[in-house]
Amino acid sequence: VKNQIHSYYAFYNEELKSRIIHNKEMEDRMETALAHHEFCAYFQPKYDTETKELAGAEALVRWNTGDGRIIPPTDFIPVFEENGLIVGLDEFMFREVCRQQREWIDQGRRAVPVSVNLSRYNIFYSSFINKYQDILREYEISPKLVPLEITESVMSEDEVLLRNIIDELHSIGFSVLMDDFGTGYSSMTMLGSMPIDVLKLDKSFVDDIGDSKGEKIIRSIIDLSRGLGIRLTAEGVETEEQYEFLRKMKCDEIQGYYFAKPMPGSDFQALLNTEK
The residue among 4 and 127 lying less far from ligand C2E, judged by its C-beta, is 127
Q: What is the DSSP letter of 110?
A: P
The answer to whether 184 touches 152, Cβ cutoff 8 Å, is yes
Nearest approach, Cβ of residue 23 and ligand C2E (Å):
17
Name the 3-class secondary structure at 223. Answer: helix
The answer to whether 246 touches 237, Cβ cutoff 8 Å, is yes
Nearest approach, Cβ of residue 203 and Ca ion (Å):
6
**Residue 255, interface with Ca ion (CB under 5 A)?**
no
Specify burial of residue 119 (Cβ count, 10 A radius: 0-12, 13-18, 19+). buried
The residue among 59 and 222 lying less far from ligand C2E, judged by its C-beta, is 59
The residue among 112 and 200 lying less far from ligand C2E, judged by its C-beta, is 200
The residue among 193 and 204 lying less far from ligand C2E, judged by its C-beta, is 204
The interface partner of residue 73, options being ligand C2E, Ca ion, none and the CB cut-off 5 to 8 Å by kind, is: ligand C2E
105 to 124: interface string for Ca ion, x by CB under 5 A: ------------x-------
What is the residue type of 165?
I
Nearest approach, Cβ of residue 119 and ligand C2E (Å):
4
**Residue 149, interface with Ca ion (CB under 5 A)?**
yes
Antiparallel, parallel or unpaired: β 39-48 and 263-264? antiparallel
The interface partner of residue 93, options being Ca ion, ligand C2E, none and the CB cut-off 5 to 8 Å by kind, is: ligand C2E
CA of 30: how far to CAs of 35, 51, 78, 157, 165, in Å? 9, 41, 13, 28, 28
Binding residues (CB under 5 A) for Ca ion: these are 117, 149, 179-180, 235
